[in-house]
Amino acid sequence: MEQSTLTSFLEWGKLTRPWNVLAMGLMVLMVLRWMDYPLEALLHVGRAGWLVVPMLVGAAGNLINDYFDVREDRINKPERALVGRTVKRRVVVVTHWGFTVAAICWSGWLASSIEASWPLVVVAAFSLILYFYSPVLKGRGAWGNAAISLCVGGMVLWAGLAATASARDWMQLDSAWVAFGLVLAGLNFLREWVKDVQDVEGDRASGHRTLAAMLTTKQTTWGQSLMLISLLALGTWWAFDLVPWGWNWGPWMVCAPVALWRSISRQHTSLSAWLKALMGSWFVFLI
């Protein structure tokens, strides 16, 4: 029985996508550092929420997404269809709401500490978006991808606003971190589109009209390649303007051409991986 309980717990842990959640925290931490936020302040239990709250929201979103996507996962990724098999459905629902309530309460404390409502509003909005992504937004063309990408890019917004709130000087805001977030959101949108191509069979069986299901193969290839070229141009322009030439250009210079070639040659499985690496290399510019 103990082994069964431990196995169920580990399988539940997989549903939270722990490495993705840790990556979210690292992204927020890097932006906070870039915005000159005093990182030692995160040692305070309450202020640690600037880092932990986005991770709680992300974990809750991953759980509820798997809850709603059982049918598609059993077709596209049967080895990852754990809900209802090794993990009870009610456990997924209860822990999703547990993480969500914890994030909302913590963001309420943060809002009170800086005397502004935006932390609570942002967390509530992103929690709603992630909850309704699979049952409502996913089957409406590009809207689902745009919603998820808004949340990903919103992590930069969250960290940037946290840093300026700490400084109590809103006039220090500039467009650099906003542009950084937009490029991140664009790269994530593109990766979600590529993942839709990989999952198109299951999505069609479930009645989801994703972007990949609505377009022809040629339209998808051209659209993805042109979007990637635009994002690479915007990202490189941003880096030229703000980042001195050095070692941290290396990952971007390697990942960018490889990802573009994978897109043009329609190698969607490897393209998804290279886009993830490209998103990581984007954050290397902040070091």
Dump pLDDT digits (tens) for 227-284: 999 999 999 999 999 999 999 999 999 999 999 999 999 888 899 999 999 999 999 9
Long-range contacts of 34-38 (CB under 8 A, 24+ apart): 34/177, 34/286, 35/159, 35/160, 35/163, 35/164, 35/177, 36/163, 36/167, 37/159, 37/162, 37/163, 37/166, 38/166
Dump pLDDT digits (tens) for 159-175: 988 888 755 544 445 68
DSSP 60: H
What is the average per-residue pLDDT within 184-189? 96
Q: 87 by DSSP, 3-state: which? A: strand
pLDDT value at residue 207? 67
Give the pLDDT band (50/70/90) at residue 126.
Answer: very high
Task: Inform me whether the pLDDT recorded for 177 exceeds 80.
Answer: yes
Task: Inform me whether the pLDDT recorded for 80 exceeds 80.
Answer: no
Q: 176 by DSSP, 3-state: which? A: helix
Give the pLDDT band (50/70/90) at residue 75.
Answer: low
Token pair listed for 274:
């290279």
Q: Are 181 and 150 in contact (CB under 8 A)?
A: no
Give the pLDDT band (50/70/90) at residue 213.
Answer: confident
Least confident of 1-15, 22-36, 139-153, 257-271: 1-15
User: What gap in Å lies between CA 104 and CA 179, rounded to an integer?
Assistant: 27
- Which residue is listed with tokens 């690479």? 232
Q: Are 215 and 224 in contact (CB under 8 A)?
A: no
Dump pLDDT digits (tens) for 86-114: 788 888 899 999 999 999 999 999 999 99
Token pair listed for 236:
């490189």
Strand ranges (E), 157-222:
209-210
User: What gap in Å lies between CA 122 and CA 109, rounded to an integer?
Assistant: 13
Longest dimension (CA), the chain: 59
Q: What are phi and psi of 210, to 5 degrees?
A: -75, 170
Q: Domains in the chain, ordered, with CATH?
A: 2-170 (1.10.357.140)
